A and B are shown apart, each in its own frame.
Chain A
Amino acid sequence: MSKKNGASTSYKVFSWVILILLALFFLFPLYWIITGALKTPAAINAAKPQWWPSEFTLRNFQVLFSKRSAPLFQFGSVVGPTVPGAIRWLLNTVFMAVMAMILTCITAAMAGYALAKKRFIGRAFLFSLIVAAMALPKQVILIPLIREMSKLHLYDTIWSVIFPTVGWPFGVFLMKQFSEGIPGEMLEAARIDGASEWKTFTTIVYPMVKPGIGALAIFTFINSWNDYFLQLIMLASNVNYTISLGIATMQAENSTDYGLIMAGATLAAIPIIIVFVIFQKYFTKGITMGAVKG
């Protein structure tokens, strides 16, 4: 090892320098969003940008929260208190991402187990269909989906951005990978003991695929939160917007008030970044497991 120390040490220093420069480059947009949100309009519009805000202001957030107002929630005739539009958008987004996550995890865990461990007619065909669908451009399917959603009276409701996420077969594929590891003897033993199929699933399969469900949950949550294209084509009225869609619309309306737009971007990005950093390990696992044999 020691004979090539000279070359490898200088290469190590070189790669550390490059890595740190790259990290700064990748972090900079986020830094610029957050500091931009706290800058005064004068600082934002100056020809000489301020690397660090010389004066902090909450003006941009005040404007953001005064923009529109909407009821906090609405179930039939039950209408919540009036809040700023951005808060409603945030709540819509959380509801969408959480529902998509729960539904995906339940359906994918069940289907993944069946595909991995059950031997039934049509299994190979179904699995090829799922793999083939995953190789398709997801966004292309969404345009024809609009007419289907309006026939189902789901267009411009929060469900129209939840159901397509649940239907996307990546989760089933991922859970199949995790379920492959369940020993057949354990399932056999449960069957001989006379356990029902459902009981076998909840007491034997579920505990064993739990790490997979964790990975899938965080993966679905983040993807659903950020699926701008789906939200853009399915949601039409302002009260149903997600935070991404709200910010995009605001950007189209006030294209030069960068302070306001950065405040909106902060509101959209910070919650999801916090979730990501906390659950980073599961997320990494989900990405890598989904690629095995992919």
Chain B
Amino acid sequence: MRQTMSPELRRRETISGYLFLLPSLVFFLGFVVIPMVMCIITSFTDATMNSNQPDVFIGLANYKELWQDPIFLKALRNTIVIVVVSVPVVCIFSLWVASAIFNMSEGPLSFFRVVFYLPVVTGSVAVTVVWKWMYSNYTGIINYVLKNGGIIDKNINWLGDPKYALACIIIILLTTSVGQPIVLYVSALGNVDHSLVEAAEVDGANNTQVFWKIKWAQIMPTTLYILVITTINSFQCFALIQLLTSGGPNHATDTIMYYIYYTAFTRFRFGYGNAMGVVLAIFIAILSAVQFRLAKEK
């Protein structure tokens, strides 16, 4: 309908459009796009943290080194474990909670929504320090409860033992990841077309059938969005690692994001860290694309 815009009007729209965009573009280009480009460029150099020292172009050397760096490979493995465990658990858990609460009255619904969102709002630092205390070897409540319940016979150093450390971190990550998916699913389930549900019930479909045959298809876009954001968030798991274990014991809990930070700030290898950043971004991009493709086929 707007194809018939006069050239005069089109010019005016373009100028005013860009003027309205300008303040936002300054921040977006300056603090998102430029660093993105810088990240890619410096990943081909031996850049250090010192910006006065000229960066020397070294081609693909950083990328080649990555695949021979045992710590990077371990961090990659850990990150993949975190993603593979947490993404499905978050999706299933939040879908269950959402379907249990979405048709409650406003009071209990708000209560549960707030409660499950609380760990996100509390902030990663506050959440992590309290879990660190709860996991602690001598004064932690988890050891106390498990010992009194007869589940373990002596205290376990949860975060200091490579066998348990990563699992402990994943548990905290899960509690801080389900808030947003629950809110999204509650709203999606509330928007499911009622006439379809009623028609199916008239035809004698039971609750399970109604859910899988009708609701599941209608909340698919939400599921897809949740898959993507949970994957991105799990890939970026950082604060938990830095505050709980600093990647220890013996790099057992390093994630890519933590190793990028470590490389840039402890070893001052800025270019190498950025090469890892690029690899991480490519991983996420591929996974998001695959998830989109899979969801579209269904």
The residues of A with any CB-CB pair to B shorter than 8 Å are 4, 8, 15, 18-19, 22-23, 25-27, 29-30, 32-33, 36, 44-49, 103, 106-108, 110-111, 113-115, 118-121, 123, 126, 129-130, 133, 135-148, 150-151, 163-164, 166-169, 172, 197, 201, 222, 225-226, 228-229, 232-233, 244-245, 247-248, 251, 258, 261-262, 264-266, 268-269, 272-273, 276-277, 280, 284, 287-288, 291, 293-294
Contacts and interface: CB of A to CB of B under 8 A. Distances in A.
Given A119-B10, A119-B13, A135-B284, A144 B42 contact: yes
14 contacts: A19-B97, A23-B112, A26-B115, A49-B139, A111-B25, A114-B21, A141-B277, A144-B35, A144-B277, A197-B16, A225-B123, A228-B124, A262-B133, A276-B121
Interface stretch (B61-69, B162-170, B179-187): B179-187
Majority SS at the chain B contact face: helix
A122 B10 CA distance: 13
Nearest to B19: A197
Contacts of A232: 242
Interface of B: 2, 5, 10, 13-14, 16-21, 23-25, 27-36, 38-39, 42, 49, 51, 97, 100-101, 110-127, 129-134, 136, 138-139, 141, 144, 175, 180, 183-184, 187, 206-207, 221-222, 225, 228, 232, 235-236, 238-239, 242-243, 257, 260-261, 264-265, 270, 273-274, 277-278, 280-281, 284-285, 288
Given A229-B238, A247-B126, A143 B260 contact: yes
A225 B207 CA distance: 42
B288 A135 contact: yes
A36 B130 contact: yes
Nearest to B239: A228
Nearest to A19: B100
Given A23-B112, A140-B236, A280-B113, 6 more contacts: A30-B130, A47-B138, A110-B24, A135-B285, A140-B280, A288-B184
Contacts of A140: 39, 236, 257, 260, 277-278, 280-281
Contacts of B24: 107-108, 110-111, 172
Contacts of B236: 137-140
A291 B122 contact: no
A264 B122 CA distance: 12
Nearest to A132: B285
Closest 6 CB pairs of A and B: A118-B17, A111-B24, A167-B31, A120-B17, A114-B20, A167-B27
Nearest to B141: A49
B21 A141 contact: no
A220 to B, nearest CB: 12
Contact of B118 (A30, A111, A143, A245): A30
Given A48-B144, A119-B5, A291-B225, A137 B119 contact: no
Given A137-B284, A143-B274, A261-B129, A32 B32 contact: no
A291 B222 contact: yes
Contacts of A123: 17
A27 B284 CA distance: 32
Nearest to A22: B97
A8 B278 CA distance: 51
A61 to B, nearest CB: 15
Contact of B284 (A136, A197, A226, A264): A136
B133 A168 contact: no
Tell me which of A19, A45, A130, A133 has the highest count of chain B C-beta atoms within 10 A of its own C-beta: A19
A269 B123 contact: yes
Given A27-B118, A32-B134, A147 B14 contact: no
B287 to A, nearest CB: 10
A27 to B, nearest CB: 6
Contact of B264 (A143, A225, A244): A143
B20 A201 contact: yes
B238 A111 contact: no
Given A47-B139, A280-B110, A167 B10 contact: no
Contact of B123 (A106, A114, A168, A228): A228
B274 A167 contact: no
Nearest to B172: A29
